[in-house]
Structure 1
Amino acid sequence: MAVEDTEYVQVASLSELEDEGRQVVSSDGRPIALFHHEGEVYAVDNRCPHMGFPLTRGTVEDGILTCHWHHARFELEEGDTFDLFADDVQTFPTAIDDGEVYLDPDPEPDVPPATRFRNRLADGLEEDISLVMAKSVIGLDEEGKGFYTPLETAVNFGTRYRAMGWGRGLTTLGCMANLYDHVGGRDKRRAMFTGVREVADDSAGEPPRFQQYAFDNQNLSKERLKSWFRDTCEVRDADGAERCLLTAIDSLPPKDVAEIVFSAATDHRYMNAGHTLDFINTAFETAQHLGWEEHADAALASTVAQITDATRSEELSSWRQPVDIAGLCADANDLLPDLVAAGEGKEWERSEGFVETLLDDDAEAIIDALTDAIRAGATTTQLADAVARAATRRVLWFATNNEFTDWNTVHHTFTYANAVHRATEKTDATELYRACFDGAMSVYLDRFLNSPRAPVPDPAETDRTPADVRADLLDAFDEQGNTNHAATLVSEHFDADGDPDDLKRTLGRGLLREDADFHTLQSLTAAIERFEVVGEESEQRTALMATARYMAAHFPTRRAAEQTFSIATRLHRGERLHEVK
């Protein structure tokens, strides 16, 4: 082949390559491995795409190049991998001219890099390989596709390959999407890596899900579809409910769809310890991130089992004895039409002691306070906000003399109340008042977990800089037992007039470097969501102190995922992971 008019560069002597069998050459600082095998010359990137081991230290036999570190195998001519834990290795076209070896150091890729990284992310999800997912997320971010493409790819996978549908993994992914704008640059990558990794883990080994289809009749009214959806959910008919929901998505605006779904999600008390409504709300928000028209059907249809298969709290003794709080909620629900009618046209303002009333130990007084508020014109948004404020305090005041697992109890109430408040932004359906009653009763049930209330730092002057406080907060997360100290540092950051965005980024850094569990990942997301909607600094301080306590109680962890992310980052930069002698 004549190479004069090409981009090929001379890199080696053919005779020397034939004698040695392999050589390492360089082009613009990039190490390239040359192999002479079965009379042909091949060139590949010398860094194994798995973890960067020099491929010239490997073996070539029968047209297969094998890396000796983790035994990844590659078809030598085109670089295709046999082992999906690795990637295809980059190959370079070669030519021989006058006894010299030439190669093209910058060949055109077969597919655009963003497409390749998206495809590899799909491989990582299917095989549940964390390193592949980390590399893909980093590569997509480098290509300017770091948010939408990982989110869409993981949602498409999670809604198809988990028979039970929307669960912990997809909810984590949705939380990370909501957290994305509040964390620092590289932590945005960590957030998406965390989300897709949890989707893969939650789907691993599960049978696929087969989505139903909408009714042919697209002229059904909202009222009819709402009635059908609630009836089918009531008798746990998941297939029938899904067809009703898909028809609603096809024919009604999102606000009406939200009314239909949240009405069924509140037909029974505090379903699945609050997870049902929380998961559904996250599914709505994920569909909004991706585009309602394209993704609402898969996202929301996958949540139906969260309603039809849910545990209903009125079936639990804790909601019946010694106080029948399920009955109190049912009675209040029966009054709703009259309460809403009485409050129409009125403007309710939360009294100074209203939240403290919700934290009382008298269930009937709590229900009375809520019903009086509705009668006085309180909207679902206002009432849900008040309940969420009370639930936030249950986390902030959690007494560490309780069992460690009791953290989850106050956490469930908090994330449920936050989800109810966010749901009120999607629909003004009166059924969400029922969720306010349920959330308030869960706050009531958690009262013993604040006995005694944990100490809460008061605002005070400080001469330290916000940066020093944030550094100390990360240090506090490095040691067990700093639950109260973490809250004190958050409060001090406010005292030092620190930028709340910097504090949120620091909390995000502390969270995303850990192998945080589902609830801890939810905790910071919900706390920041509360921060964004409350107006008073004191309430913002409360929300972030509460999550800091929760996080500190669960840190540190082994940080295995951070090790994987670090390896993927170093490989992407071209760094060496080892020294070869």
Structure 2
Amino acid sequence: MSCMRPGGRWRAFDNGRGGEGNRAPSARTPPCGGRPAKHPVQRGLQKGEAGYPVRQLVNLPPAPAIAYATVRTCRRTTSDTVERKDSRWSLAADARTLREENARMTVRVDGKHIALFATPDGILACNNRCPHEGYPLAEGTLDNGCWLTCHWHNWKFNLKDGANLYGGDRLRVYPVEVRDGRIWVDTADEPPEEKRARVRRDLHAALEDNDYFRIARELGRLAAIDGDAALAVADAIEWSAERFEFGWTHAYAGAADWLALHDERQGQDAKLTCVLEAVGHIADDALRQPRYAFDSGSEPYDEDAFVAAVEDEDVARASRIARGGLHLGGFDALDRGLVRAVLSHYSGFGHSLIYVDKARSLCRRLGDA
């Protein structure tokens, strides 16, 4: 959170990852649980007596001048846009509007809301909305190292390359050129395949951290590219499979049902929620699970040999034969053998038959993804 101090300056108390921050514990909050301490008045103390708390103002250093810079906004039409190969240069502003030290402004060009900053390294541009929760970054604080601090949750971004100081969502920055006293910004988007690859990498990072809210944001970005984020479930399964040494968890079984619900629902929000719950559960089950080196070999598929390997608890051989079956004909080639192996012990452990059914549903829904 942030708190206002005298003079209208803001000081952030946040851990930079969107949580409640590094707030000091309250005097009324017991350190290890139990009942809260009583307020001094409840204990019979009067103001001025020993033991009654005294409010003190902390003498913090003055905030940098840039925190109070006036933010101007102007709009440009698409007629001020020049397209070139792999670029789309848009006229943003007159350079004289940013000639003062620490000046800043926002512009709307080519359908984008962009913040422009005058810095010691020249004029820099970024998306005006924080990738965390959308706060206008033109209202943030910029230091001499070009690190821009969002005033909402204290996230920090480098205006030169968009790097996140805390390793989370990156900030979109734009190339800038000043030509004949005018500021031009390259508003070209990445090719869809490059953007998709980047978002998938960022999704994997969110899965590693089990960062539910970042997973949600990355799924939203993926849906904006492909129109649907359902294939992210296949990504999450591929990413997590080697972390489950002892096989399936409820997360995979649940994913089959979440995908079925996804396909029944109408509206992007409802569909995205279904994908988020599936992927989030997988990330939660895989948290802190080390990678396991499964046998990567393959043997020609033989149903009887597969069932015997399962009965003998020879995981390595059963895995090799199963892999051969997948190469031969996908899940359909394995289906009968899996059911036979499971029904041999159904009375002792019913989960296995459920998992076979959910595996069938997932493979049919996701295909070769």
Aligning the two structures, in what range does the TM-score lie when normalised by the shorter sequence? 0.5 to 0.7
**Aligned-pair identity (%):** 23
Tell me the residue number matched to 2:266: 184
1:203 match: 286
Give the number of the structure whose residues are more often helix, by fraction: 1
Q: Deviation of residue 70 (structure 1)?
A: 2.2
Residue 82 (structure 1) shift: 3.3
Deviations 1:405-453 (A, max 9, x none): xxxxxxxxxxxxxxxxxxxxxxxxxxxxxxxxxxxxxxxxxxxxxxxxx
Separation in structure 2 between the aligned mates of residue 205 and residue 182 of structure 1, nearest angstrom: 34
Partner of residue 226 from structure 1, selected from 297, 307, 323: 307
Q: CA deviation at 1:282?
A: 0.9
Work out whether residues 230 and 259 of structure 2, in 8 Å CA contact, stay in contact via their aligned partners in 1.
no
Other-structure match for 2:295 = 212
CA distance in 2, matches of 1:145, 1:214: 37
Q: For the residues of structure 2 that align with 1:23 and 1:190, how far apart are their CA atoms?
A: 36
Say which of 93, 96, 99 aligns to 1:11: 93
Cα deviation, 1:137-178, whole Å, max 9, x if unaligned, reads: 233333335254212111112213333332111221121112
After superposition, the Cα gap between the structure-2 partners of 1:75 and 1:253, relative to the gap in structure 1 and judged at 3 Å, is closer
Matched residue, 2:127 = 45
Aligned match of 2:211: 129
Deviation at 1:194, TM superposition (A): 0.9
**Which structure exhibits the higher relative contact order, with contacts defined as CA atoms closer than 8 Å and separated by 6 or more residues?**
1
Matched ranges for 1:47-126 at <5 A? 47-61=129-143, 62-85=145-168, 87-104=169-186, 106-109=187-190, 112=193, 113-126=195-208
Structure-1 separation of matches of 2:132 and 2:291: 29
Q: CA deviation at 1:260?
A: 1.5
**Which amino acid in 2 is paired with 1:141?**
A
Q: Deviation per CA, 1:19-74, whole angstroms, max 9, x where unpaired?
A: 34322233256432111222411011111111111212323231322223223222
In structure 1, the residue matched to 2:339 is: 262
Report the equivalent of 1:140. 222
TM-score (norm 1): 0.44
Question: Whole-Å Cα distance in 2 between the matches of residues 253 and 278 of structure 1?
Answer: 19
Counterpart-to-counterpart distance in 1, 2:225 and 2:90: 27
**Whole-Å separation in 2 of the counterparts to 1:29 and 1:147:** 24
Q: Please name the residue that 2:103 is paired with.
A: 21
Instruction: Render the CA deviation track for 1:475-520: whole Å, top value 9, x for unaligned.
Output: xxxxxxxxxxxxxxxxxxxxxxxxxxxxxxxxxxxxxxxxxxxxxx
**How far apart, CA to CA, are the structure 1 residues paired with 2:98 and 2:325?**
71
Q: Distance in 2 between matches of 1:28 and 1:118?
A: 26
Q: What is the identity, as a one-letter code, of the residue corresponding to 2:91?
A: V
Amino acid paired to 2:358: T
Structure 1 residues 94 and 147, CA gap change in structure 2 (3 angstroms): closer
Q: Label 1:92 to 1:44 Cα distance change in 2 as closer, same or farther (>3 A).
A: same
Unaligned runs of 5+ in 1: 296-581
SS in 2 for 1:103: strand
The structure that is strand-richer by fraction is: 2
Give the distance between the partners of 1:144 and 1:125, measured in 2 at CA: 20
Q: CA separation in 2, counterparts of 1:176 and 1:281?
A: 14
The alpha-carbon distance between structure 1 residues 100 and 268, as it changes in their structure 2 partners (threshold 3 A), is: same
Could you tell me which runs of 5 or more consecutive residues in structure 2 were left unpaired when the two chains were aligned.
Answer: 1-79, 84-88
Q: How far is the alpha carbon of 1:249 from its aligned partner?
A: 3.1
Which amino acid counterpart does residue 267 of structure 1 have in structure 2?
Answer: S
Q: How does 1:22-421 map to 2 (within 5 A)?
A: 22-27=104-109, 30-61=112-143, 62-85=145-168, 87-104=169-186, 106-109=187-190, 112=193, 113-185=195-267, 186-215=269-298, 217-218=299-300, 221-230=302-311, 232-233=312-313, 237-251=314-328, 254-272=331-349, 274-291=350-367, 294=368
In 2: Cα distance, 1:29 partner to 1:224 partner:
61
Contact 1:121 1:153 in 2 (8 A): no
Question: In the alignment, residue 248 of structure 2 is paired with which amino acid?
Answer: W
Residue 181 of structure 1, CA deviation: 2.0
Label 1:75 to 1:147 Cα distance change in 2 as closer, same or farther (>3 A): closer
RMSD: 2.8
Give the CA deviation at 1:251: 4.2
Counterpart of 1:195, as a letter, is: A
Q: Which runs of 4+ in 1 moved over 6 A?
A: 3-6
In structure 1, the residue corresponding to 2:226 is in which secondary structure? coil
SS at match of 1:19: coil
State the alpha-carbon separation in 2 of the partners of residues 223 and 9 from structure 1. 70
Matches of 1:253 and 1:125, distance apart in 2: 27
Tell me the CA shift for residue 239 of structure 1.
Answer: 2.9
User: Counterpart of 2:174 in 1: which secondary structure?
Assistant: coil
What is the identity, as a one-letter code, of the residue corresponding to 2:282? V
1:201 shift after superposition:
0.9
Does the 8 Å CA contact 2:99/2:118 hold for their aligned counterparts? yes
User: What is the match of residue 51 of structure 2?
Assistant: none
* Counterparts of 2:274 and 2:81, CA distance in 1: 49
- The AA in structure 2 aligned to 1:64 is W
Tell me the CA shift for residue 255 of structure 1.
Answer: 4.1
Partners of 1:282 and 1:142 in 2: CA distance: 28
**In 2 relative to 1, CA 23–287 (structure 1 residues): closer, same or farther, beyond 3 Å?**
same
Tell me which amino acid in the other structure corresponds to 1:144: D
Give the structure-2-normalised TM-score.
0.67
Q: Distance in 2 between matches of 1:158 and 1:250?
A: 21
Asked if the contact 1:66–1:72 (Cα under 8 Å) also holds between the matched residues in 2, the reply is: yes
Instruction: State the match for 1:534 in structure 2.
Output: none
CA spacing shift, 1:161–1:67, aligned 2, 3 Å: farther
Quick check: 1:214–1:250 contact (8 Å CA) kept in 2? no
AA aligned opposite 1:188: K
Mapped to 2, the partners of 1:166 and 1:75 lie a distance apart of 41
Quick check: 1:48–1:67 contact (8 Å CA) kept in 2? Answer: yes
The one-letter amino acid paired with 1:137 is: L
Rounded Cα–Cα distance in structure 2 between residues aligned with 1:67 and 1:118: 25
Contact 1:12 1:25 in 2 (8 A): no
